[in-house]
Amino acid sequence: MRLLFLLLLLANLTFVAVNEFDLGWGEKAPQGERPLHPELIQLRNTVKVGLGVLSATNRTDTSTKRSSDPSLKMSTSVNPEQNKLFCLEWGDFSGEDLKKVNIELEKLKLGDKLGQREIEQDTGFWVYMPPLKTKAKVRQKVRELKNLGVTEYYVVSGKGKWRNAISLGVFKTKEAAEKLYKKRKAQGVRSAKLGERASKLISTQFILNGVRLEIKDELRGLQKDFKGSVLNDVPCTLTRQP
């Protein structure tokens, strides 16, 4: 019985040694390591490569959709008035302001897009020096004006209470007249006065036909230098020259 037990034990040990150490059958495998299975490696690589291709394809498709989808493109704001043409009226000008605004408008090179019309009024405002008794007094005042740098004036002739008065400027609005009045006072024209002028007053209004937004913006900037002037958008039928 004891002998049988020993034989069974020896048989078990032999079986374990054959399986663990591969004794006598081929090359010995390294201790503690199991043999690899190439078929599983191939299968795993195939899966990984496949996923990589799929992922790259998905990225390509997604980027293509993004670039071709108009809703995903960056939107740029466009001013709806950028390509619009405007028709404008700007006025009214007379005297020194009329000369200055003509110079500014020439710089814009508007060509046949710029026109003008004269407006006649029965009343207005003027800056003046009161009537003088003699022509000699008039000549003396004129010399004084020139010495002060004043070149815009005219002597009122004819009959009436304003004979030999010296006009320094006539305006449609009181605001424009006050501007010149303050300027002349600052220059040293102490006898200058401001008042209403009940006579025919001719002023100039500029009309602009079919100008772009850039020109309109330029005129808005210039308007600040001509207080009392009005810049209006009007239908283009009103600005066309006959």
pLDDT in tens, the chain (242 residues): 666 666 666 766 666 555 555 544 444 444 545 555 555 555 444 444 444 444 444 444 554 545 455 544 444 556 666 778 999 999 888 878 899 999 999 999 999 999 999 988 777 899 999 999 999 999 999 999 999 999 999 999 888 888 999 999 888 788 889 999 999 999 999 999 999 887 677 789 999 999 999 999 999 999 999 887 899 999 987 666 55
Give the residue among 226, 125, 229, 203 at the shortest CA–CA distance from 169: 125
Domain assignment present for 25: no
* Structural domain includes residue 20: no
Residue 204 lies in a domain: yes
With respect to residue 125, please indicate whether it lies within any of the assigned structural domains. yes
Q: Look at residue 206 in the predicted model and tell me its pLDDT.
A: 96
Is-contact 141 156, C-beta < 8 A? no
Classify residue 73: in a domain, yes or no. no
The whole domain housing 169 covers 86-238
Tell me how many domains the chain contains.
Answer: 1
| Domain assignment of residue 182, yes or no | yes
pLDDT value, residue 53: 42
* Structure tokens, 81: 């008035």
Which residues 6+ apart lie within 8 Å of 157 measured at CB?
163
Beta carbons of 156 and 110 less than 8 angstroms apart: no
Is residue 162 classed as helix, strand or coil in its secondary structure?
coil
What pLDDT is attached to residue 178?
Answer: 94
